[in-house]
Amino acid sequence: MNKNVLAIAIALLAAFAALAIVLFAREPLTAAAGPTEYFDQGAATQDRIRALETAVAQERNARLLLEEELQALYDEIERLGLGSGQDSSDERTAAMEREREAFIERAERFRGGGDVDSRVVRLVAAGLSPDRAEWLTKRESELQMEQMQLIFDARQAGESLDRFDVRLDPDRALRAEIGDLEYEQYLEADGRSTSVQVGTVLESSPGQRAGIQAGDEIVAYDGQRVFSYGELSNQTMNAEAGRSVVVDIVRGGVPMQVVVEAGPIGISNRGFPGRR
């Protein structure tokens, strides 16, 4: 935030506080003094009423003046762009974008062509911060090494491996650590699929009855994000029979939902190059 703008805002707030003190300092004193502060108890009834009306009018005028000053303060803050955090948020977003672009430019200019460097650049281009991109490249290597060590140790001990152990799949382990949103950026950086492309819809299938069409992209099944055909297949095969399931799809860039019977949807991704 601009320092001059901040200084003006602080000055306005100080002026408002001073005005509030001046206007309301009388109120406790009045309450303590009682009715005799406004009129003489021995005066005629009409005189006492007029005196009370005058006191009420003075109090009302003081409050109106305070409200006017308060509104003027709000207007000034709004004019200076301090009324909300939007400007600050936009500035932070713009600064992050400039940092990302500068990093990519420097990397493209000076990197020696190493594989790790190029992966970091792609991750940053996908929207991750430079620090986070470097951490991801390091972490994926660590997970691959953990997988190798796990297999080696099991063979040395003559033990069987649990095929459901997430450590045997570095991609799945990384996804579990970073979450679906960041994992999607991670896949995009490598040019990998982030949805299930529908190639064909089988006749008389639950998918056909639900209105799924060739060309749709399936992104979630029963509330679970799916990035590949294999993931979708596992989700459908493990679904509880006899219930309805919501499937999130994207058609022509427009997100929508359809409801299918639990179990195989009846689609194929055949016809899409690089399908997963």
Q: With respect to residue 41, please indicate whether it lies within any of the assigned structural domains.
A: yes
Those residues with Cβ within 8 angstroms of residue 160's Cβ, 6 or more apart along the chain or in another chain: 154
Tens of pLDDT along 172-198? 999 999 999 999 999 998 888 899 999
Residue 172: count of CB within 10 angstroms of its CB: 15
Looking at the fold, whether 184 and 107 belong to one and the same domain comes out as yes
pLDDT tops 50 at residue 274: no
> pLDDT for 214-247, tens place per residue?
999 999 999 999 999 989 999 999 998 889 999 9
pLDDT at 37: 46
- The verdict on residue 207 lying in a domain is yes
- Give the separation between CA 141 and CA 124, rounded to whole angstroms: 18
**Residue 139 and residue 208 in one domain:** no
In a domain, 275, yes or no: no
Tokens for 153, please give them: 């140790």
Instruction: Tell me the Ramachandran region of residue 211: left when phi exceeds 0, alpha when psi lies from -120 to 50, beta otherwise.
Output: left
Q: Indicate whether 91 belongs to any domain.
A: no
Structural domain count of the chain: 3
Is 85 a domain residue?
no
Same domain? 205 vs 185: no
Residue 140 lies in a domain: yes
Task: Kindly state whether residues 119 and 187 are assigned to the same domain.
Answer: yes
Residue span of the structural domain in which 56 resides: 3-79
pLDDT tens digit sequence for 145-154: 999 999 999 9
pTM: 0.54
Q: Is 87 part of any domain?
A: no
User: Is residue 68 included in any domain, yes or no?
Assistant: yes
Arithmetic mean of pLDDT, 4-25: 52
Question: Quick one: 182 and 256 in the same domain?
Answer: no
Q: What is the pLDDT of residue 113?
A: 47
**177 and 108 co-located in one domain:** yes
On whether both 256 and 211 belong to a single domain, the answer is yes
Q: Are the beta carbons of 207 and 267 closer than 8 angstroms?
A: yes
Question: Cβ(179)–Cβ(223) under 8 Å?
Answer: no
In a shared domain, residues 135 and 159: yes
